[in-house]
Structure 1
């Protein structure tokens, strides 16, 4: 009974020297104490991570086998559901920076992550990336540049994703197009007759079958009112995935999925359909292709719930929320940004005055 009460994602480890909480050290397989420097290795699972059969979960069978209860905090401002692998202290939402009420924490079931891509860059490096990005922004408000100097505005966050694997088979009917050229005489804009080479297409019927393995279709499993994480930073090297261990979460915020498995699966089928159509076009060959009918089947479908790392900087300017995202694996950065009206106004005014001065002296 005692073992059942110790949840995998609720387990925190104290430093044997000073008693402080040990936190994950990005780019390593260790947890360390930020006060005395003591380090301990994370026990790695040599068997690798498990792919779960999809159909039993979609049919609500066996869903409890790989699920657990987790403590959550819900942001009433932006709707994000967050779990924090540390003691709650001066906690704010990573997306909108609004305070979270610790007393509002509640328990909720989730499908246990099968794998995690640990942070490869630490918060100091992410903060330097953010500072450099802000420094290069034109017409950024002074308050934004000041915010860039304060590391408390940049938080490490694990984002939930679904990945889907499947064996794909598709049969198709379509047409293969082959280009040919004809020469004709036309009158140009000056009224002269000229020779023009025109491309045309001969179409031939085509049909066939394609098959292959669709590996790690990545579907974001959470979405707030502000939308998805920017596509620019949404590329991770999934070869760096490790079997899930709560040690990797220590010191970071973890977001719970809000897009259920069933909806994620529907999105993955659309991705698979696009892949199937691309394979069909490659199979048809020629210069251009038409796929008029396609029957796609997926089999041996499996999935994983995985966690991927980002750093988020939340900033409010004139009542509006802005987010800046840094990929916690490769350092890519993207985000929305405010503009300073007065900086733009005075720059435009300076340019106008400069032009008038140049004109004045030119005429003089």
Structure 2
């Protein structure tokens, strides 16, 4: 009896020397064994990453041709869908730290990633960035500073995104504004003076615009909390690599929870904003008004891509705080808690100093 084919994203990557887990070494093109130091090069892709034609997937006709099954664990606390390989050490949600129940693992079909942006900084470097940031926080709770000492609080995650390409054509109507200035007299008596007032002449405008919209980035996951901040969510997509599950070794991979159809709606909205910008540029003048845009998108393609981010979760007085570090650039962002008692004693100290100064000055 023929054995079922094992999906490539599920394959365990083991060291040929000692059998231990091989992990992707950020910033390189190799896997490394943490136990014996053996390294294994990731074979370069034979082809570039593939842009998939959008319409068959929206019609659910092409979804089976570029899909596979993957084992997923859903966090009961924040709703994140995570793929964690069987030899990953910590079975806790990367977003909120809640335990993940292995018995709840389920097989789900996903559209294969077309590309991955490998981590460029390792966990140690990311943890140093987080630790330095926490050290500089005023009035941070002591527990947060203690948490910053433990690298296990900083976990690497591949977050899912959609990218969309399209040929854009639009016809618009609007107005072109041109500035002119008039001299006005203001004030009276000795305060009387002349000033220049700006005015605008408006002229009707219409025309057409066209161009290629490349790699519109739309987030593909949604949780009740733990949203990656916009300050962190900037990657150089020119460094994308054709998808190879070797880059995922040792990291958590999140499954998209925003369907392709919803992602496409977001990309269409972004395309309309781009069309508005192009129309204003085409109208020219000093200022513009756009009254209507009739936009058409053609030759639409998409990719499912995975982008690197480090996440640290921390609880303080029953409230969860997330900190994020871009796995490519090292940019950091997050909401931090404040210690009431540290603020209280700081204010008390200021009052004491002011009181002492007043007392000495009255002597």
TM-score (norm 1): 0.97
- The corresponding residue for 1:196 is 195
Return the alpha-carbon distance in structure 1 between the equivalents of residues 116 and 3 of structure 2.
23
- The corresponding residue for 1:281 is 280
Alignment of 1:110-149 (within 5 A): 110-149=110-149
- The corresponding residue for 1:237 is 236
User: May I ask how many residue pairs the two structures share in their alignment?
Assistant: 363
- What do the CA deviations read for 1:9-35 (whole angstroms, capped 9, x no partner)? 101121111111111111111111100
- The corresponding residue for 2:185 is 185
Q: Would you say the 8 A contact 2:226–2:322 is kept in 1?
A: no
The answer to whether residue 354 in structure 2 is matched with residue 355 in structure 1 is yes
Return the alpha-carbon distance in structure 2 between the equivalents of residues 61 and 247 of structure 1.
29
Change (3 A) 1:42 1:122: same
Alignment of 1:189-228 (within 5 A): 192-226=191-225, 228=227
TM-score (norm 2): 0.97
The answer to whether residue 150 in structure 2 is matched with residue 150 in structure 1 is yes
Q: Would you say the 8 A contact 2:95–2:226 is kept in 1?
A: no
- The corresponding residue for 2:99 is 99
The answer to whether residue 314 in structure 2 is matched with residue 315 in structure 1 is yes
Return the alpha-carbon distance in structure 2 between the equivalents of residues 175 and 3 of structure 1.
68
- The corresponding residue for 1:346 is 345
Return the alpha-carbon distance in structure 1 between the equivalents of residues 13 and 199 of structure 2.
70
Once the 2 structures are TM-superposed, how far is the Cα of residue 4 of structure 1 from its aligned partner?
A: 5.2
- The corresponding residue for 1:58 is 58
SS of the counterpart of 1:233?
coil
- The corresponding residue for 1:16 is 16
SS of the counterpart of 2:110?
strand
Change (3 A) 1:207 1:320: same
Unmatched segments (≥5 aa) in structure 2:
none
Q: Would you say the 8 A contact 2:88–2:250 is kept in 1?
A: no
Unmatched segments (≥5 aa) in structure 1:
none
Q: Superposition RMSD on alpha carbons, in Å?
A: 1.4
Change (3 A) 1:347 1:356: same
Bigger CA drift: 43-52 or 163-172? 43-52
Once the 2 structures are TM-superposed, how far is the Cα of residue 85 of structure 1 from its aligned partner?
A: 3.0
Return the alpha-carbon distance in structure 1 between the equivalents of residues 235 and 301 of structure 2.
20
Return the alpha-carbon distance in structure 2 between the equivalents of residues 61 and 329 of structure 1.
35
Alignment of 1:9-48 (within 5 A): 9-48=9-48
- What do the CA deviations read for 1:229-266 (whole angstroms, capped 9, x no partner)? 10001110111100101100000000000000000000
- The corresponding residue for 1:298 is 297
Q: Would you say the 8 A contact 2:177–2:203 is kept in 1?
A: yes
